[in-house]
Structure 1
Amino acid sequence: MTVIVRELRPDVPADTEGFARVRRLALPFVLYTPESIAHDVAHVHPDARYRVLLAEEDGEIVGTAAVGLAHESPEPGRGYLNVYVHPGRTRRGAGSLLVRAAEEHLVSVGATALFAWVLDEPGNRAFAERHGYRASRSAHFLRLDLAGGTLPPLQDPPSGVRLCTGADFADDPRPLFELDAEVTSDEPGDIGAELTDYEAWLAETWRHPLFSPELTSVALVDGRPAAFSAARTDGATRYGSAMTGTARAHRGRGLAKLAKNDSLHRARAAGCTEAFTGNDTGNDPMIAINKWFGYEVCETEVRYVRELG
């Protein structure tokens, strides 16, 4: 069996479909479609130096890697490589070849620290440690059964608060960008992010093929977005929470929970049967909110880090 690594060709359906297939098998809690993969390659910010790598075994795509620089981080030189191999094609060299190619690319573009998410399984963790990575923080994937489960009932907004959808901002999404930027800057994690480029946000977030303005819910206070729950869907039955949060001036009022409940009800009414989200294990407020909705942890991942000399 011969394994090779090459770059994904976004205009070749076999490549994007193969990437999506491997990711759905290895990481079923995250939404991927061939269209979303092609969009990411075409629209990611050039400062990210982004590459998508494929591992092929005798012509079959068996492994994937998304590689780039965290260009929105205030700390320069933060690189990331997220490698996932078809569960039925592990231990054949694809993972190691992908890591080697990803590291070579990141070193060539100036990365000084490499960050990789690894599913919390003994074989995966041992693989990361053999390649010189050390464990850092962790995060959970959570799943909610929208078809058979019971959502909390919809609640009336408190006085002075009005609910709307992302679609109501179609003519001018900038207020949502500003709220997203504030929430993102406060999100826990080992790589900080500062959203400052509105045009990049439009291309990478607002116009992303998975993003659903209609299922995104926004809580307005005095006509301005105060909290939101951004939604993604695969265009079929799967729903994913892209970001949920509240502006600093309005935290502690339950507005994020209000917006997310509204979004989940919209998703179920639209035919979505399962919902996915993710939480840093130290993000206790959002973990509590998601447990209130009925989400259950379905997998844990660990961030591994390799500092380069």
Structure 2
Amino acid sequence: MPPGLELVEAGLDPERLRVIEDLLHATQPEQACTVEEMLARAPLSPDMRRVIARLDGEPVGLATVGRIWVLPPDYPTLWCEVGVVEGARGRSIGSALLAWAQVAGREAGKRMLRVPCSDGRPEGIAFLARRGFAEFYRMTTLELPLAEVAAPAIEPPAGIAITSLGARPDLREAAYRLAVEVYAALPDPEPVSAGDFEEWRVRDVDVPGAPLDGYLLALAGDEPVGYCRLYVHDRGASVGHMMTGVAAAWRGRGVASALKRAALAWALEQGAERMTTENAPGNAPMLAINRRFGYRPTPDFVEMDGPVAAG
């Protein structure tokens, strides 16, 4: 390791997790999460590990390894984040952090690491490519600036009412059944799922920074037939879409567009500067809806996979 560099594991210590939060915000704000989110989601990945890189006592980077939440716990690949603040790059700190993550992956009995990147930071992709990583998957990312946007009329299709899980907590089980259907229909190369009820609750419902009035539901009578899960991120500047989906029997009937209008109104109520969303390349209908709403392309979200080096 470079002289003066030490790697300190954060565990679940709130003060160290606050440092992790600040480092994520500085190095990859689109992936940043809060201390409260890290603690709330700890049951999903009890083996999650996070490390702070300190150079001469100053925090300059981080690495994390843990379960990919939408995949089974025994999946052979770990999610891995690596970031170094701008003024400390080019000093082998990223290499030391990635080496730590590879050791952690071996200790967890896994074969691969999956690192999130952005096309807007090609140096990060090049760093990983030089170390044997290759692109596994990418998502189209979009952004809607809100400075000059007015709240639209929601205008749901006939027979549909738009509400929220905050207003209708009695619909949790029905909302879960819909989430199971939506996740199963995603055009993803892997077996993503909503998980069991408790996992879905921790991951998608009772989430700090994601109020339940931002879990929008489209109801046909008392049956949820579409939903849009929103969350506040980038320290209040952005509202993001965690998931938008519609039951198969209701697709193509204007439900998703009504949810998008309701989501825009909600984001404006939060005082956000922009909305963000991601689309799988094969999800052409949702991509078309987003473009009609004025979303603009931003650098793609790229997942890079690489082997856990042999010990």
| 8 Å contact kept, 1:31–1:240 | no
Q: Percentage identity across aligned positions?
A: 27
2:43 aligned with 1:37, yes or no? no
Partners of 1:179 and 1:128 in 2: CA distance: 37
Q: Match of 1:29, SS?
A: helix
Give the aligned partner of residue 179 of structure 2.
Answer: 180
Partners of 1:52 and 1:247 in 2: CA distance: 37
| 8 Å contact kept, 1:8–1:54 | yes
How far did residue 137 of structure 1 move?
2.3
How far did residue 128 of structure 1 move?
0.7
How far did residue 86 of structure 1 move?
1.8
TM-score, structure 2 normalization: 0.87
Structure-2 change in CA distance of 1:123 and 1:71 (3 Å):
closer
How far did residue 71 of structure 1 move?
6.3
Give the aligned partner of residue 65 of structure 1.
Answer: 63
Give the aligned partner of residue 214 of structure 1.
Answer: 213
**Cα shift readout 1:136-156 (whole Å, capped 9, x = no counterpart):** 3222332221232356x3242
Superposed structure 1 runs of 4+ greater than 6 Å apart: none
Partners of 2:225 and 2:139 in 1: CA distance: 26
Question: Among 10, 13, 38, which residue is 1:11 paired with?
Answer: 13
| 8 Å contact kept, 1:229–1:245 | yes
Partners of 2:9 and 2:171 in 1: CA distance: 36
| 8 Å contact kept, 1:218–1:226 | yes
Question: Among 52, 55, 60, which residue is 1:54 paired with?
Answer: 52
Give the aligned partner of residue 278 of structure 1.
Answer: 278
Partners of 2:169 and 2:59 in 1: CA distance: 38
Give the aligned partner of residue 86 of structure 1.
Answer: 85
Question: Which structure 1 segments of 5+ residues have no match?
Answer: none
Question: Which structure 2 segments of 5+ residues have no match?
Answer: none
How far did residue 185 of structure 1 move?
2.3
| 8 Å contact kept, 1:29–1:143 | no
Q: Match of 1:37, SS?
A: helix
| 8 Å contact kept, 2:218–2:224 | yes
How far did residue 245 of structure 1 move?
0.9
| 8 Å contact kept, 2:157–2:255 | no
Q: Match of 1:183, SS?
A: helix
Give the aligned partner of residue 297 of structure 2.
Answer: 297
Give the aligned partner of residue 29 of structure 2.
Answer: 28
RMSD (Å) for aligned C-alpha atoms: 2.4
Q: Supply the AA of the counterpart residue of 1:249.
A: A
How far did residue 307 of structure 1 move?
4.5
**Cα shift readout 1:33-70 (whole Å, capped 9, x = no counterpart):** 23223333x33244xx3222222222222222231233
How far did residue 246 of structure 1 move?
1.0
Q: Match of 1:114, SS?
A: strand
Partners of 1:181 and 1:82 in 2: CA distance: 27
Partners of 1:12 and 1:118 in 2: CA distance: 26
Deviating more after overlay: 278-287 vs 243-252: 278-287
| 8 Å contact kept, 2:66–2:80 | yes
TM-score, structure 1 normalization: 0.88
